[in-house]
Structure 1
Amino acid sequence: MTCDDSIRVAIVGGGLAAASLAFHLGPTFGDRVTLIEREAGPGMHSSGRSAEMIRQAVLPPPVARLARRSAEVLGRAKWARFRPTGSLLLGSEASLTELRDALGESDALPPGADITRAAAHLPPGDLRAALGERAALWTPTDGIVDASSILSHFLDDAARHGVTIRYGTPVEGVVVEDGQVKGVRVDGAFLAADIVVNATGAWVGAFAEGLGAVPVGWSVLRRHLAHLGPAADIPRDLPFIWDIDAGWYLRPESRGLLACACDESPSPPCDPQVDRSVLDALGRKLSEAHLPLDRLPVRRCWAGLRTFAPDRTFVIGFDPCLDGFFWMGGLGGHGVTCSWAAGELGARLLAGESPREAESFDPARFLDHSAGEAGAIT
């Protein structure tokens, strides 16, 4: 689809992906863009429940390149409130070498990333005693950000450029005529739009159902986070630690630790409830890692949803079956890290460009149902 200076865009969703797209479209499209969010405010679901980590060493490589692009920007932006802690990805020598080489061969390895011993980047104490001899991929340019600050910056700047932002406004349907999007129905009225962007997070599949768009085959998975503490001996600048083989991670948070068992359980799109049994799984994993954290009380536990396409690669671009329908979904837990670059890429496509990096995220790949399921390391 070729865009011109009369194109009207309706972005449906109020999370980081939608907000980033509005931010990048604002300077060019201005008041021809409307962002519509059914909740009373932005980031009420997955975007507001993340661990707020910038992790660049991920697979597949196209996602890693977006992560690296975003990290370059967020690391310099005062509004991201970036804290450069670095990261330690623990694993076997074989798994870490495989990850490093896959990223290096694809020009996606983060700056300064290399395999070392965890002890080189851990302060003296219990964590170093337990994990110090483990092999680790050290990425010095990773860190922690403030997701709400990023989201606010995206939306405030979009509004400054004339983008209309509507909260508390459920989209009642997409109007399609002869295979062409015409707009959306909101508040019992018709809102004309030449392009409707599906950036609805966990609802991305449900929103497209029955419209004639390409069938992607989305998976929605619940994951938990737990805030443990207080722990007086946890330094604020401790690198976040992620065991990619055993499946757990932790990082410093408010005089304690934010910890995750990397659990995945299928869920419908919803406001997910906490399954307390996940805390037992987290305890077992940390115990198997010889981490003496059983003394730390659970201050809070919450759940969020992560949405994936079958190949666990983002879906960004025009639908091949429904003219005017644009996908912005499947960020699958990478929303904080990749939202800036994902929004930039989406805006370039909506402006009529054909960036080479968009090929990996093209929804047209789902016209071939034989696409493999190469899982991301997350």
Structure 2
Amino acid sequence: MTPQQPSLPQRCQIAIIGGGVAGLSTAWALARAGQRDVVLVEAESDCARHSSGLNAAILRTLIDEDPVAELAARSAPFFEAPPADFAAVPLLRPVGLVLTADVPEKAAALDLAAARTRRPVERLSPSELRRRAPFVRIDAETAWWMPTDGVLDIAALTDGYAHAARALGVAIHTGCPVAELIVEGSSIVGLRTRDGRELRADQVVLAAGGWAGRLGRAAGSGVELAPMRRHLLVTAPDPRVDPDWPVYWNVGDTFYARPESGGLMICACDESRVDPDRCDVQSEVLELVAATAARHLPDFADAAAAHLWCGMRTFAEDREFVIGPDPDLGGLFWVAGLGGHGMTTAPAVGELAAAALMGRANTGLLAAFAPGRAGARAAAQEPGATAG
């Protein structure tokens, strides 16, 4: 149950827009570092209703993008041993993750990432691949075993962040959609809600997922983000599925699967540009899912679909995260564009953002995600031209 909340204040030091994992982790990290007077506003009646609550809940730390891989490595210890009283249940079920590539260039990138990672990793022979993931049938160029990766409890994670942030003094206001940022001169000085209330702030953090780019652009920012739709499917329960099987992920034609609710959760990693207000299921994707599943999991190719849904993954043009101060608008800070690795990197993203907001950031790491880089300012026009 969402705690009863006080009325929205007229002013604070830091206002965060978005109650997904990006906004929640940033709010908690700020409060834990001693920042006071932080207000988080979320459009929905509960936090983590969109991208953060509709993803595959996979912890995958072997990533072939160096700066994101660094954030994943920093985040993993948090999932393995969160702070005392953060969550009543474990955040991670370390069933392990099998990562394969069946395209030579992808295999080379994956092998390089495996050589660089600080996480436990083991190369798999074809026979070992079959032993680790007996439901998979694929001729892989390379295969790796990540024994400490696995499945995250997303509800426990996001609820933990919200509860811990509130306990440290963060005011979280749900059911509070933002219509626009308040611009004075070349600075953002606050936000205005759809019902006309204003919250003035020294700094405004855009952590609104698929809506972040729209709000920023309407205020005059040059940062461009693209929300993309992706579908996930859970098959009907099947007695052949072992709930302790590992996560399987192929980075060639991009496909993943893991046990869920007695069946298999599968994703063909489809991607299509979407208006964040109209992210609806496209039933025709079932053909793609079936064809890709038949290639990787032929024994389950005819499994019936029990549940099909979609969520959003938001990207800059170069697919790197967007974290840091806006290059054009003073008072505006971005924690957005986390794409497919937002859950895996959430603890480190929150810490990095909080440190930057408080003037204590690792500037080298932050530079890789700077909103002013070319790849964050050159995306195609997003559907829908108005904020909100």
* TM-score, normalised with respect to structure 1: 0.89
1:1-378 equivalent positions in 2, closer than 5 A: 8-29=13-34, 31-77=36-82, 79=87, 80-92=90-102, 94=104, 95-102=106-113, 104=115, 107=116, 109-117=117-125, 119-120=127-128, 122-123=130-131, 127=135, 130-131=137-138, 135-186=142-193, 187-213=195-221, 215-289=222-296, 291-355=298-362, 356-366=364-374
CA distance in 1, matches of 2:80, 2:275: 34
SS at match of 2:109: helix
Contact 2:62 2:113 in 1 (8 A): no
1:81: how far off?
2.6
Structure 1 range deviating more: 253-262 or 354-363: 354-363
Q: Deviations over 1:124-167 (max 9, x none)?
A: 99625x34877412212211011111000001011001110100
How many angstroms does 1:209 deviate by? 1.8
Name the aligned partner's letter for residue 98 of structure 1.
A
Offset of residue 66 of structure 1: 0.5
DSSP 3-state at the match of 1:364: coil
Q: Deviations over 1:88-147 (max 9, x none)?
A: 11223733232221464xx4x14222331254255599625x348774122122110111
Residue 253 of structure 2 aligns with an amino acid whose one-letter code is: A
Change (3 A) 1:370 1:181: closer
Q: 1:190 to 1:290 in 2, by over 3 A?
A: closer
One-letter identity of the residue aligned with 1:115 = R
Q: Which amino acid aligns with 2:18?
A: G
Q: What SS does the corresponding residue of 2:276 show, helix, strand or coil?
A: coil
What stretches of structure 1 of length at least 5 have no aligned partner? 1-5, 372-378
Moved more, 161-170 or 20-29: 20-29
Deviates more, 1:152-161 or 1:83-92: 83-92
TM-superposed deviation, 1:217: 2.6
Structure 2 residue identity aligned to 1:32? D
SS in 2 for 1:88: strand
Q: How far apart, CA to CA, are the structure 1 residues paired with 2:132 and 2:188? A: 60
**Aligned residues of 1:45 and 1:271 also touching (Cα < 8 A):** no
Cα contact 2:217–2:223 (8 A) shared by 1: no
Task: Report if aligned partners of 1:316, 1:362 keep a CA contact under 8 Å in 2.
Answer: yes
User: How far is the alpha carbon of 1:246 from its aligned partner?
Assistant: 2.2
| Alignment check: 8 A CA contact 1:15 1:47 kept | yes
Q: Is the CA contact (8 Å cut-off) linking 1:126 and 1:291 kept in structure 2?
A: no
Cα offset for 1:276?
A: 1.5
Output the TM-score relative to the length of structure 2.
0.87
> Is contact 1:110–1:141 with CA below 8 Å preserved after alignment?
no
Contact preservation (8 Å) 2:241, 2:262? yes
State the shift of 1:243 in Å. 1.5
**Structure 2 unmatched runs, 5+:** 1-10, 380-388
Shift in CA distance, 188/228, structure 1 to aligned 2, threshold 3 Å: same
* SS across alignment from 2:169: coil
Change (3 A) 1:179 1:207: same
- Of 7-16 and 24-33, more deviation after overlay is shown by 24-33
Distance 2:378 2:187 in 1: 27
Aligned-residue CA RMSD (Å): 2.4
For 1:239-258, what per-residue CA distance to the aligned partner results, in whole angstroms no more than 9, with x for missing partners? 11112112211001111110
CA shift in 2, pair 1:125/1:101, >3 Å: closer
In the aligned structure 2, how far is the partner of 1:136 from the partner of 1:28?
Answer: 40
